[in-house]
Amino acid sequence: MTNPAPALPLAIEPSVKAALDAGQPVVALESTIITHGMPWPQNLEMARRVEQEIRDHGATPATIAIMEGRIRVGLTPARMEALARTPQDQVMKLSRADLPAALALGRTGATTVAATMICAELAGIRVFATGGIGGVHRGAETSFDISADLQELSRTPVTVIAAGAKAILDLPKTLEVLETLGVPVIAYGQDAFPAFWSRDSGLGAPLRMDDPALIARAALIRDTLGMKGGQLVANPIPPEAEIPRAEIMPAVEAALAEAAQQGIAAKDVTPFLLSRIFELTKGRSLAANIELVLNNARLGAAIATAFSAAFA
């Protein structure tokens, strides 16, 4: 009997394929941040700048999305623009649960941290830079709203660079779940776990490293030990771009109260909160968001470079 499963629907863009084949550093990027994380046209501008930042630091960027029934690893400028222009309600926000269904349906889909990790691994990419990861939402003890990003970090061998997690989440519970799942959480260059727009969440990070080469080495040792899973690198926002906790928290609390009042749930929670905080801070949260993604892209390029050096 022939195998009824279709061929792997993976389309790696030529510049990404060439870099991977040559063992050169590649950094994966997600697309939910483009479609559901930022408004048009700043989303497209951010996506382009982040890719350029990675090139300027000696690595090849690979933005990942589901388009035309295939996993696209690396987007042409035309596809990048088409995705950024697509209204949020016409793009599926994809995690592990819905990625195969989106491919079967031929839908356009943006990959979250979880789905981007899965696609990066399929393509052979070890490093992925983003803004913030999903986590344990406040009130999770009754809503059970815990992002699938956390599980994914425990099972898929990709190093994810993020600016910590947002104060819209329950940060102590997020760190607890990561610990339970066996995910290494490594703060870069400081002891504190960063909180996205702010450098310090008030919580200590479980691990600290100051050298990108050691971060790559820790991932490689994890492989050698036969341990599945990735690691989370929590990279604080640059000091000049940060919004101190005391300034951002009123907007966060107001957005959370509105979400509860309007009954916003499940996948809609994070995009709703992000856009309300953007409005409440008069765009300041978005400017900070863009700066921290650029900062993560730079660290991602350095870690990817260390990975390729290890294989050279």
> Which parts of this chain interact with ligand PSU (CB under 6 A)?
30, 32-33, 36-37, 112-113, 131-134, 147-149, 166, 267, 270
Nearest approach, Cβ of 43 to ligand PSU (angstroms)?
Answer: 10
The reply to whether 149 sits in an annotated binding site is yes
Amino acid at residue number 95: S
Contact 81, 43 (CB under 8 A): no
Point out the residue whose Cβ comes nearest to ligand PSU: 37
Nearest approach, Cβ of 169 to ligand PSU (angstroms)?
Answer: 8
The reply to whether 93 sits in an annotated binding site is yes
Q: What are the structure tokens assigned to 27, written together?
A: 């950094």
Nearest approach, Cβ of 138 to ligand PSU (angstroms)?
Answer: 12
The reply to whether 143 sits in an annotated binding site is no
**Residue (of 71, 76, 84) closest to 117 by Cα position:** 71
Is 253 an active-site residue? no
* Separation between Cα atoms, residue 205 and residue 239, nearest integer Å: 18
Catalytic member of 13, 17, 30, 152: 30
Is 228 an active-site residue? no
The reply to whether 148 sits in an annotated binding site is yes
Residue placing its CB nearer to ligand PSU in the complex, 36 or 199: 36
Catalytic member of 13, 17, 152, 166: 166
Residue placing its CB nearer to ligand PSU in the complex, 17 or 166: 166
Nearest approach, Cβ of 131 to ligand PSU (angstroms)?
Answer: 4
Q: What is the DSSP string of 132-179?
A: ----BBTTHHHH--B-HHHHHHHHS--EEEESB--TTB-HHHHHHHHH
The reply to whether 145 sits in an annotated binding site is yes
3-state secondary structure 241-287: HCCCHHHHHHHHHHHHHHHHHCCCCHHHHHHHHHHHHHHHCCCHHHH
Residues serving a catalytic function are: 30, 166
